[in-house]
Amino acid sequence: MTVRLTYDLPGAGWADCTIVIDGQALRLSASYLSDALDDLTGAVIAVLRGEECASAVFSEEPGEYRWELWRVGVDRLRLRIFWSLPRWGDGPHDPAEPIFDATCRLRTFGGQLLSELQRLLREHGEDGYRAKWVLYDFPMHRFTTLASLLK
């Protein structure tokens, strides 16, 4: 099973994320209106610690991607991503229908996220990350917690 997660900071206050699970792929973005990477890392940590479900938000301008992470059995993760426009928006989609729905090993997904966090830290450093992401610091506490949980 292939699991790949990439997270890039192409410009000030913007992030691009690509998720691939078993041939299913989605590319999405986030603005600095939410602390997307910290939120996603916190959700993965919660599920690794035994929570049945956790969620994360990638805010857009306008709209948002809502990630739902569900623990399936002992070591599986079901990831569902939903897209919705603000309540005043009129989109051609049903925000109750996921635009991405896939299952993989929980530790594999967590490991992919940890690898991206390590790469971002190497590439930008904490100060460079803050300069790129604008309102939020690199999620160092969650990074170290995730690394500890995956040992």
Domains of the chain plus CATH, in order, are: 3-149 (3.30.2450)
pTM metric for this prediction: 0.92
| Contact between 17 and 31 (Cβ < 8 Å) | no
The residue behind tokens 């049903």 is 94
Q: Which phi and psi angles does 83 have, rounded to 5°?
A: -115, 135
Q: In this predicted structure, what is the pLDDT of residue 86?
A: 61
Start-to-end CA distance of the chain, whole Å, equals 21
- CB atoms inside a 10 Å sphere around CB 19: 21
H runs (alpha helix) in the chain: 36-48, 106-133, 140-149
Is the pLDDT at 90 greater than 80? The verdict is no
Q: Which of 11-20, 87-96, 121-130, 131-140 has the lowest mean pLDDT?
A: 87-96
Q: In this predicted structure, what is the pLDDT of residue 92?
A: 47
